Structure 1
Amino acid sequence: MPSKPAPIKKAAKKEPAKKEEEKAPEPAPAPAPEPAPAEAAPAPAEGEAAPAEEGPAAPPAEEPKPPTPPPADAAPTEEAAAPVAADEPASDAAAPAAAEEPAVDAAAPAAAEEPAADASAPAAEIPPAATDAAEAPADAAAAPAADEAAPAAEAPADAEAAEAPAPEEPKAPTPPPPPPKEPTSAPVELFIEDKNDTSVTIIWSQPENIGLSGLDGYTIEICKEGTEDWKAVNEDLQKSCRYVIKNQTTGDRLKIRVVAVNAGGRSPPVTLPEAVLVKEIADRPKVRLPRFLRQRYVANVGDKINLTIPFTGKPKPVVTWTKDGKPLDAKRVNIRSSDRDSILFIRTSERDDSGVYEMCVKVDDFEDKASLILQIVELPGPPATMKIVDTWGFNVALEWTPPVDSGNTDIKGYTVQKADKKTGDWFTVLEHYHRLNATISDLIMGNTYKFRVFAENKCGLSETAAVTKGEAKILKTGIDYKPPNYQERDFTEAPKFTTPLSDRATTVGYSTKLLCSVRGEPKPKVQWMKNQMIIGDDPKFRQICVQGICSLEIRKPGNFDGGVYTCKAMNKHGEATVCCKLEVKQAAVPDAAKK
């Protein structure tokens, strides 16, 4: 069995070799046996072999060798095969020489050096082109060498496919492409914090949208007013949101802007609305809002408003006023400003004058603002509706709705009044009442009533009231009055003194009075006695007994009016007496009068 020709690993240049063979001129008859083996020798060294002949095949490898990986220097193999194909048409005699013993001997070592995979390939896989080439005449053996390269190159591939190839290592999943880097949004709230003759201090806030790329810093740029020659004043990116622009010329007007920078590039700039004058401020403007204006200022409709708001600042600040963010109406509000204060004056206030007034004082690029709330109020309107919901017994249920006009302030309560149809006089039954319904009780049976409600705010009661359309009549009901049966009680009793007489002492010529109290039923008769002698109608004594209080008045007593006085009370159930002692003393006489 003829040996399997050594495959040519790469036959990329077989067509050019064949073309050179066809174009080559007739070779000289002189034999050249040595160049062919010399030229063919490098090919087996690189894994290639010349086409086999009908002669005995090279001895097969005794033991299969492990498959040799493809040579790293495959390119030199092509370079070695190209000279062989180029030298083949040198002579017709060279072809028979290639089929002689030296060629076979040279092919034998090449076959021994073939990879085990090629040697172990079955005979059925030998391409027919290689079999035909082995049986062809010797003079045509060298010519199809280039043509056999392509079929021979397929044999190792089939042999390697027959063996189980090693599984390839799984590849890691391809990561998604990174998101595109975008710049941040523009910084916000850029304004001047301070300035002097040579520097300007600015502050700002970071952008609202920073994005995934983060924020690397800020670039501060300036240019003089009237030009667009923007220049960065910071060499490195500024991390904080405050920067001092130094070494400026006094009197220059600078336009300033700030740009945020990140991996996506520069953000849109934020620029100061006006150019900044590099000049020191002697005294910053400040509004000194009075304490009573820091809260809501309330006035009635028709009142005169005269508010003075002082301020400071040097040079003289520029004062501006706005109402609810809009300029003031010069026909309604007058503003007079001096170097120290500003006066808000309204001659006759109206409801429309209510609102938020803002005062702004400005010196160059610095300003200060203060707001005050002015509320003009008036009496409210009456409740919108009022009705009688129900009437039962001596009660009436009422309901009403809040007024349409509250007087530009809150409703503090309601006042409910009733009137009897007979008299027509109104009487207040509820005052400072906060609910929108009420029950009026203790009405008189048989009378007919009307009701009305006033609304109340901080200015007072509404001028008019909401009156019920209908009337509430308290009907009479059949009631049989049965007075209770009381058992009469006997209150009769004998006289009894509740307060006795007390001993007294008096001076000659000074009137005195004796007192006691007595009770009894029926009313007892009282009798006064002196030393057990009944005092009659003596004009010197005055006897009085009113509501059980008995008194005896002794007018200008003398030396003989002293003694024991007795009061005696008598009725049909008995009698009682009380006594006391009266002492009449002589008036003291001075020693001079005695002489």
Structure 2
Amino acid sequence: MPSKPAPIKKAAKKEPAKKEEEKAPEPAPAPAPEPAPAEAAPAPAEGEAAPAEEGPAAPPAEEPKPPTPPPADAAPTEEAAAPVAADEPASDAAAPVAADEPASDAAAPAAAEEPVVDAAAPAAAEEPAVDAAAPAAAEEPAADASAPAAEIPPAATDAAEAPADAAAAPAADEAAPAAEAPADAEAAEAPAPEEPKAPTPPPPPPKEPTSAPVELFIEDKNDTSVTIIWSQPENIGLSGLDGYTIEICKEGTEDWKAVNEDLQKSCRYVIKNQTTGDRLKIRVVAVNAGGRSPPVTLPEAVLVKEIADRPKVRLPRFLRQRYVANVGDKINLTIPFTGKPKPVVTWTKDGKPLDAKRVNIRSSDRDSILFIRTSERDDSGVYEMCVKVDDFEDKASLILQIVELPGPPATMKIVDTWGFNVALEWTPPVDSGNTDIKGYTVQKADKKTGDWFTVLEHYHRLNATISDLIMGNTYKFRVFAENKCGLSETAAVTKGEAKILKTGIDYKPPNYQERDFTEAPKFTTPLSDRATTVGYSTKLLCSVRGEPKPKVQWMKNQMIIGDDPKFRQICVQGICSLEIRKPGNFDGGVYTCKAMNKHGEATVCCKLEVKQAAVPDAAKK
């Protein structure tokens, strides 16, 4: 067992280390170390003391083995403790404690007061103790935190080195009783190698404000608000853009006040609740982590007043010409207009104010409506609409014409009657229905029946002639006037009547000279010779003409044939025939036909042959 004076030496050697810590600049503020980690530091030493009792620690102390290299991610503070551990093997156990700055300060007094620490010298001399120290250093959370430790300023690094040296010194003193005296001398004379300092990290880039917004101008305004728009800054930078602040002040002052409580994200803003007539200066500032950008200001102060737009009446096309409606129709005409601010609309009729009892006017921001519930003739006229904004105005006129059926023609009369014709005349109607007369319709009626019939339609003249009347009848006439609404309800009727008289007719035939048709008989068809057979009747034919009618006489062989029954004489319409009945052998000869009247006579002759019938030879025998 090692003697107790060792802790006294350890405490004596640790005092300079504490003084160095006091002289060193204080590191960055860190949470105060808890006593639990400080007590946990010697725990591995107690566990290592058990194998140290099994064998003497002197031989390993004469030939110390090189320390186990630290892990790649170990902090610079562990590298600084490694050279000390090369001289004193027991410092391997202290290395993990030195990695934690606050723990190393608490571990030093704990190691000095703990008697078990004296057994660390034989434990450090043995090989298993060195191997156990390496994982302990790797498992220490402080060693894993080497990356953040690199950011600690150099002053804090020096302060961390001091406790590490202080922790290594007591460990060397504890090992001194077990080791030989020359080991302490060598450890004391060996100069500590210079510890490499961690590279200084580059400073973070400075946070800068953005450039000024661009293209600030007025989008719209009215009597109480102003609408502005702008574009984002050209240079935003790494700090980004948080929003915009809109500031205003009255002209002539520099008392700038923000009108938005929160940063404006969009590039459009409506400045509300302003006083009409004020002149405001307006500017916009972009804000980010670097602060406020240079402002962009409107070049001129803005007058809080609605933008004046010249008024203009947009008269519809169908109202640019005469608008015609019938009496009793409902009139509802909408006339749009433009102008800003809202124009003042006025109406007149024929240069005089409208009658509110007859005509209703309703106007909005965009149009005006002329409304008449039931139109009358008196509503006709020229209506004029006027819109006015400040000193500017515009006018438009429309002609409203209310029409109805015309009255009848004023007068109508019968001018003349002759033969089957009647001439009429009339005058235009007194009331044309407030429109042009398109024509007239003329009708007639027979007094006997009383039915009216149209004889002329769409007739444009003021006089007419009615023809094709029936003789002996009496007629009345009437005329209707016609306009675009139709025929007049009544007609103008003639006061008198027109009677078509029956006139007497004396026929005097013309005195023609009678033609003399008297003529001496003349045969137009002569007799022809004939042949006949005995016993077969035959006929002789001829034709004759003459005026007066000639007397016909037949003769045979110059002998007058009288009333002989054998002959038959017929004379009809100048055709004369003589029939010989069953002539015999003695009936042949010359036959003559003689025609006679007071103007003369004529004869024709023919020969008749009567042949004997042929007898067969058998009959002769």
TM-score (norm 2): 0.34
Superimposed CA distance per residue, residues 499-557 of structure 1 (whole angstroms, 9 cap, x where no aligned partner): 99999999999999999999999999999999999999999999999999999999999
Q: Shift of the alpha carbon at 1:282?
A: 3.3
CA distance in 2 between counterparts of 1:151 and 1:401 reads 159
Superimposed CA distance per residue, residues 301-330 of structure 1 (whole angstroms, 9 cap, x where no aligned partner): 001101011111111111111101111000
CA distance in 1 between counterparts of 2:498 and 2:183 reads 118
485-494 vs 386-395, which moves further: 485-494
CA pair 35-276 structure 1, distance change in 2 beyond 3 A: closer
Q: Shift of the alpha carbon at 1:340?
A: 1.0
CA pair 88-444 structure 1, distance change in 2 beyond 3 A: same
452-461 vs 249-258, which moves further: 249-258
528-537 vs 454-463, which moves further: 528-537
CA distance in 1 between counterparts of 2:18 and 2:70 reads 25
What residue is the counterpart of 2:442 in the other structure? 416
Query: Do the aligned partners of 1:383 and 1:466 also contact (CA within 8 Å) in 2?
Result: yes
Q: Shift of the alpha carbon at 1:389?
A: 0.9
CA distance in 2 between counterparts of 1:183 and 1:22 reads 43
CA distance in 2 between counterparts of 1:90 and 1:201 reads 65
**1 or 2, which has the higher helix percentage?**
2
CA distance in 2 between counterparts of 1:186 and 1:370 reads 50
**Structure 1: which 5+ runs fail to align?**
none
* Greater Rg over alpha carbons, structure: 2
Query: Do the aligned partners of 2:95 and 2:137 also contact (CA within 8 Å) in 1?
Result: no
Q: Shift of the alpha carbon at 1:435?
A: 1.1
User: Of the candidates 101, 113, 123, which is equivalent to residue 88 of structure 1?
Assistant: 101
Query: Do the aligned partners of 1:412 and 1:458 also contact (CA within 8 Å) in 2?
Result: yes
Superimposed CA distance per residue, residues 57-104 of structure 1 (whole angstroms, 9 cap, x where no aligned partner): 999999999999999999999999999999999999999999999999
CA distance in 2 between counterparts of 1:35 and 1:490 reads 185
CA pair 292-557 structure 1, distance change in 2 beyond 3 A: farther
Superimposed CA distance per residue, residues 159-217 of structure 1 (whole angstroms, 9 cap, x where no aligned partner): 99999999999999999999999999999999999999999999999999999999999
CA distance in 2 between counterparts of 1:493 and 1:170 reads 183
CA pair 172-3 structure 1, distance change in 2 beyond 3 A: closer
360-369 vs 525-534, which moves further: 525-534
Superimposed CA distance per residue, residues 16-70 of structure 1 (whole angstroms, 9 cap, x where no aligned partner): 9999999999999999999999999999999999999999999999999999999
What residue is the counterpart of 1:175 in the other structure? 201
Q: Shift of the alpha carbon at 1:348?
A: 0.4
CA pair 364-74 structure 1, distance change in 2 beyond 3 A: same
232-241 vs 280-289, which moves further: 232-241
Query: Do the aligned partners of 1:336 and 1:343 also contact (CA within 8 Å) in 2?
Result: yes
CA distance in 2 between counterparts of 1:279 and 1:83 reads 78
List aligned pairs for 1:197-276, cutoff 5 A.
Answer: none
Superimposed CA distance per residue, residues 370-397 of structure 1 (whole angstroms, 9 cap, x where no aligned partner): 1000000000000111111111111111
CA pair 594-373 structure 1, distance change in 2 beyond 3 A: farther
CA pair 295-96 structure 1, distance change in 2 beyond 3 A: same
CA pair 65-98 structure 1, distance change in 2 beyond 3 A: closer
CA pair 101-84 structure 1, distance change in 2 beyond 3 A: same
CA pair 367-333 structure 1, distance change in 2 beyond 3 A: same
Query: Do the aligned partners of 1:8 and 1:47 also contact (CA within 8 Å) in 2?
Result: no
CA pair 395-362 structure 1, distance change in 2 beyond 3 A: same
Q: Shift of the alpha carbon at 1:460?
A: 0.5
CA distance in 1 between counterparts of 2:609 and 2:195 reads 146
* 1:41 pairs with 2:67: no
Query: Do the aligned partners of 2:98 and 2:167 also contact (CA within 8 Å) in 1?
Result: no
Over the aligned positions, Cα root-mean-square deviation in angstroms equals 29.4
CA distance in 2 between counterparts of 1:253 and 1:511 reads 154
CA distance in 1 between counterparts of 2:433 and 2:99 reads 118
Q: Shift of the alpha carbon at 1:339?
A: 1.0
CA distance in 2 between counterparts of 1:407 and 1:93 reads 138
CA distance in 2 between counterparts of 1:140 and 1:472 reads 157
Superimposed CA distance per residue, residues 311-370 of structure 1 (whole angstroms, 9 cap, x where no aligned partner): 111111111111011110000000111111111000000000000001111111111111
Query: Do the aligned partners of 1:51 and 1:134 also contact (CA within 8 Å) in 2?
Result: no
Query: Do the aligned partners of 2:57 and 2:121 also contact (CA within 8 Å) in 1?
Result: no
Superimposed CA distance per residue, residues 377-435 of structure 1 (whole angstroms, 9 cap, x where no aligned partner): 00000011111111111111111111111101111111111000011111111111111
CA pair 83-431 structure 1, distance change in 2 beyond 3 A: same
CA distance in 1 between counterparts of 2:28 and 2:295 reads 88
Partner of 2:607, secondary structure, is: strand
Query: Do the aligned partners of 1:18 and 1:147 also contact (CA within 8 Å) in 2?
Result: no
Query: Do the aligned partners of 2:535 and 2:583 also contact (CA within 8 Å) in 1?
Result: yes
CA pair 155-351 structure 1, distance change in 2 beyond 3 A: farther
CA pair 314-71 structure 1, distance change in 2 beyond 3 A: closer
CA pair 589-216 structure 1, distance change in 2 beyond 3 A: farther
Query: Do the aligned partners of 1:7 and 1:155 also contact (CA within 8 Å) in 2?
Result: no
Partner of 1:292, secondary structure, is: helix
Partner of 2:513, secondary structure, is: coil
Query: Do the aligned partners of 2:75 and 2:147 also contact (CA within 8 Å) in 1?
Result: no
243-252 vs 367-376, which moves further: 243-252
34-43 vs 349-358, which moves further: 34-43
CA pair 38-123 structure 1, distance change in 2 beyond 3 A: closer
What residue is the counterpart of 2:29 in the other structure? 29
CA pair 93-54 structure 1, distance change in 2 beyond 3 A: closer
CA distance in 2 between counterparts of 1:74 and 1:100 reads 24
CA distance in 2 between counterparts of 1:151 and 1:191 reads 89
Query: Do the aligned partners of 2:150 and 2:198 also contact (CA within 8 Å) in 1?
Result: no
CA distance in 2 between counterparts of 1:359 and 1:300 reads 23
Query: Do the aligned partners of 1:53 and 1:134 also contact (CA within 8 Å) in 2?
Result: no
Q: Shift of the alpha carbon at 1:478?
A: 1.6
What residue is the counterpart of 1:476 in the other structure? 502
Query: Do the aligned partners of 1:11 and 1:78 also contact (CA within 8 Å) in 2?
Result: no
CA distance in 2 between counterparts of 1:153 and 1:474 reads 176
398-407 vs 479-488, which moves further: 479-488
CA distance in 1 between counterparts of 2:343 and 2:68 reads 96
CA pair 318-83 structure 1, distance change in 2 beyond 3 A: closer
CA distance in 2 between counterparts of 1:399 and 1:150 reads 161
424-433 vs 522-531, which moves further: 522-531
Q: Shift of the alpha carbon at 1:479?
A: 3.0
500-509 vs 153-162, which moves further: 153-162
Query: Do the aligned partners of 1:541 and 1:553 also contact (CA within 8 Å) in 2?
Result: yes
Query: Do the aligned partners of 2:21 and 2:159 also contact (CA within 8 Å) in 1?
Result: no
77-86 vs 313-322, which moves further: 77-86
CA distance in 2 between counterparts of 1:62 and 1:479 reads 187
CA pair 464-184 structure 1, distance change in 2 beyond 3 A: farther
Query: Do the aligned partners of 2:52 and 2:119 also contact (CA within 8 Å) in 1?
Result: no
323-332 vs 105-114, which moves further: 105-114
CA pair 103-351 structure 1, distance change in 2 beyond 3 A: same
Superimposed CA distance per residue, residues 119-160 of structure 1 (whole angstroms, 9 cap, x where no aligned partner): 999999999999999999999999999999999999999999
CA distance in 2 between counterparts of 1:220 and 1:587 reads 162
Query: Do the aligned partners of 1:98 and 1:142 also contact (CA within 8 Å) in 2?
Result: no
CA distance in 2 between counterparts of 1:167 and 1:447 reads 159
* 1:72 pairs with 2:72: yes
CA distance in 1 between counterparts of 2:30 and 2:232 reads 94
User: Of the candidates 519, 522, 526, which is equivalent to residue 552 of structure 2?
Assistant: 526
CA distance in 2 between counterparts of 1:179 and 1:557 reads 173
Query: How many aligned residue pairs are there?
Result: 595
262-271 vs 101-110, which moves further: 101-110
Query: Do the aligned partners of 2:539 and 2:579 also contact (CA within 8 Å) in 1?
Result: yes
Query: Do the aligned partners of 1:193 and 1:203 also contact (CA within 8 Å) in 2?
Result: yes
Q: Shift of the alpha carbon at 1:569?
A: 42
Partner of 1:136, secondary structure, is: helix
CA pair 467-293 structure 1, distance change in 2 beyond 3 A: same
Query: Do the aligned partners of 1:379 and 1:460 also contact (CA within 8 Å) in 2?
Result: yes
300-309 vs 80-89, which moves further: 80-89
Query: Do the aligned partners of 1:5 and 1:51 also contact (CA within 8 Å) in 2?
Result: no
CA pair 316-200 structure 1, distance change in 2 beyond 3 A: closer
CA distance in 2 between counterparts of 1:181 and 1:30 reads 27
Identity over aligned pairs, percent? 100
CA pair 31-213 structure 1, distance change in 2 beyond 3 A: closer
Query: Do the aligned partners of 2:120 and 2:175 also contact (CA within 8 Å) in 1?
Result: no
**Structure 2: which 5+ runs fail to align?**
80-92, 105-117
